[in-house]
Amino acid sequence: MAQALGRERANVPRVVWCAKQGSGFSRAGRETRSLKLLDLLRQKSDANTLLIRSSLSELTSATSHDSSDRTHQPQTFSGMAAASGIGYDWAEDPHVHYWAKIEAERNRSMWNLRTALKVRLTHEGHQLDVVQMGTDGAAKLLLKAAREKLKTEHAIAVEAAENLRPAEAKALEQLDGLDESQRLALKKWQLADFYCLPVDAVDADLVLWDNDGRRRGQLLNLEGFMHPDTATGADVRSLENQTQWQKGYTPWDLSNAALKSELRHQLNLDAYLQTGQQWSSESLAEFKTQALQWAAPIKAALNFSVREDMPAAQILNQLLEQMGVECIGKQQRKDGERIRTYQIDPLTQQLNVEILERRKARRKRLREGVTPPSSICIESGGCDRQKAPEIEVSAAAGSAAVDVADFSEPDEQQAELPLNIRPDYYNSSAWGWSA
């Protein structure tokens, strides 16, 4: 922020609006101490690697040059890196410690963004006049209307952009400093590619529904939940890219998609994805108890805080919203009392399923080496990326059930869970969160 203000060298007054607290926290967590942030990253990386270890064994065997001394199967991120012949030391690697320090400083600034900005500007020699302003309802409505108008104009511009071929889009993705027409055309192709549509089928309504990529992120969460092999494949491909890079591993860049998928399955969220299934806070007492028990892992993996004072329906609805599953509520009478019940929106869920089915069909065509239909690949370029088919490596059906014979006597109900996924494994006080 200070750099942006300093780009104008002229000595002119500047008016700055700054929120009291920022939102750009580290992806790994909101801890302000580097050692705890590092420990959180290590725990999540180890847990995620336990879930995809069967696929990692194929990755490490493919990248190792001498398999005679690598007969063991890696069960942690460190073990995977060591088996790859590169080695990863959480205690001594300076890169991960530098990352933890930078991210901890970033979190401290986000918690006190306005104060941090004032201190920084004062340190640079600027003269500050702090103005306290009240809330202007009329101005807020005008700003909201202006934002909506800009979004609509942008969506119309994307719809009217040039229809790119896959090769042209790939070339633009490798360039820096694209002009406005190129950015719009590339965004249009990316939307068509993700939703498996012809490029000329991308209209303003789809652009608005996508909401600057937020909908795509939610659909990826839903896809990883409904098709766990895609979550495993995403993590394996990420590790494979880092292996091919041959510059060391950066665990903070991993999405931990398999960990998120497994945690959502442990919460039995699939039971609420059935059309017509209804629930209320009163009927979710057992679910809330389980969610509170898993509060620390949910906060770490899903970035969602579960609190004791939250209604059970709110907890479930927000967890479903992370996957793009919208809920609708209505008032009902039961035993003379008004109860609010919820169910998933059938129209939105049908649209989500149709998109995921198109993406599943494309993955199947790529595995089988079949060229997609010409109506959506050669001329319009929606689905066909024109690259070699990728063979998705999925974990075996029992890969999530880690052998816990080497661990200290787990209780019978949790014996089938990976050690790092169990709610009692995480030390929530060490993370600074309440369980």
Using alpha carbons only, give the angle 77, 221, 355 rounded to the nearest 5 degrees: 135
Q: Is the pLDDT of residue 428 over 50?
A: no
379 CA to centre of own chain: 32
pLDDT confidence bin for 241, thresholds 50/70/90: confident
Host H or E run for residue 274: none
- CB half-sphere exposure, 114, CA atoms < 13 A: 9
Neighbours of 193 (CB within 10 A): 20
Q: Is the pLDDT of residue 163 over 80?
A: yes
Q: Is the pLDDT of residue 379 over 60?
A: no
Least reliable range by pLDDT among 113-117, 187-191, 311-315, 374-378? 374-378
Q: Confirm if 417 and 277 have CB atoms less than 8 A apart.
A: no
Give the tokens for residue 53: 């270890």
Residue type, 138: A
Q: What does the alpha-carbon distance between residue 62 and residue 393 come to, in Å, rounded to a whole number? A: 13
Q: Is the pLDDT of residue 340 over 50?
A: yes
Q: In this structure, what are the phi and psi dihedrals at residue 279, rounded to the nearest 5 degrees?
A: -155, 160
The whole-number pLDDT of residue 225 equals 95
Q: What does the alpha-carbon distance between residue 78 and residue 87 come to, in Å, rounded to a whole number? A: 7
Least reliable range by pLDDT among 3-12, 57-66, 240-249? 57-66
Q: Is the pLDDT of residue 28 over 80?
A: yes
Is the Cα dihedral 102, 105, 110, 116 positive or negative? negative
pLDDT for 164-178, tens place per residue? Answer: 999 999 999 998 889
Q: Confirm if 424 and 265 have CB atoms less than 8 A apart.
A: no
Which has more pLDDT, 218 or 410? 218
pLDDT confidence bin for 197, thresholds 50/70/90: very high
The whole-number pLDDT of residue 391 equals 35
Question: What's the average model confidence in pLDDT over 57-66?
Answer: 47
Residue type, 91: A
pLDDT for 91-147, tens place per residue? Answer: 878 888 999 999 999 999 999 999 999 999 899 888 888 888 778 889 889 999 999
Give helix then strand counts, H and E, for the chain: 18, 2
